Amino acid sequence: MAKRSAAIEHSTSEVIQALLESLKAHDPYTYGHCRRVGRNALLFAEALGLNPFEQKIAEAVGSLHDIGKIGVPEGILRKQDRLSESEDKLMREHVAKGIAILRPLSHIPFFKAVSTPIRHHHERIDGKGYPDGLKGDDIPFLAKLITIVDALDAMTTNRPYREGNSIEYAYEELKKHSGTQFDAQLVETFLKEHPAWGEIPEEISAHGIAQISRKSG
């Protein structure tokens, strides 16, 4: 039985990696972003004292949160200028597309648990997010966690057309939008814990293939 459950856990990691490989073929930047967000989501979940199963779910939510961008045209993903209304609509559809990609796995409790926070990773505490405009504690906890990790990575990474902001700037932005965009309590913990996490390992930041979890061996 132990052997069987180890095999299942192993295949969960491989399914995630396979999905990420498809994303990488379409958009290497989003692939790297997802890998980094997965890594930091795991560290954040550990720091918050979540149990090991919840930590694995947090890591998978981070790794797969933007998987639906496979379905967003490259030209929109790489556009430097502001998106038009119709382009923005297509971009927002990455959430529904991500859920659709994961749907065939939803009979597996692990992936079912991963899907809901992914659906809500663009909600805001003040209810002005999407797709459902959920407010405050109606937003699933892991969705609120990912939103912070996601925003930090988006602000601080270099893109071909602009240099990433400093970490100090990103911390200030999190504070500024704490309680409106982000959960205030989670921002407070994140700001305390994040400085100790160190640099993102090269094999993650350079889009390399590595184990999803530093604990999965």
Binding residues for Fe ion (CB under 5 A): 66
**Which lies closer to Fe ion via its Cβ, residue 34 or residue 50?**
34
Is the CB of residue 54 less than 8 Å from the CB of residue 139?
Answer: no
Tell me, what DSSP letter sits at residue 130?
Answer: S
CB of 168 to Fe ion, least distance (A): 24
**Which lies closer to Fe ion via its Cβ, residue 92 or residue 207?**
92
Q: In the complex, which residue's CB is closest to Fe ion?
A: 66
CB of 121 to Fe ion, least distance (A): 6
**Which lies closer to Fe ion via its Cβ, residue 59 or residue 66?**
66
Would you say the C-alpha torsion 72, 55, 153, 125 has a positive or negative sign?
A: positive
Q: What is the 3-state secondary structure of 24-79? A: HHHCHHHHHHHHHHHHHHHHHHHHCCCCHHHHHHHHHHHHHCCHHHHHCCHHHHCC
CB of 57 to Fe ion, least distance (A): 17
CB of 192 to Fe ion, least distance (A): 25
94 CB neighbour count, 10 Å cutoff = 23
**Which lies closer to Fe ion via its Cβ, residue 14 or residue 91?**
91
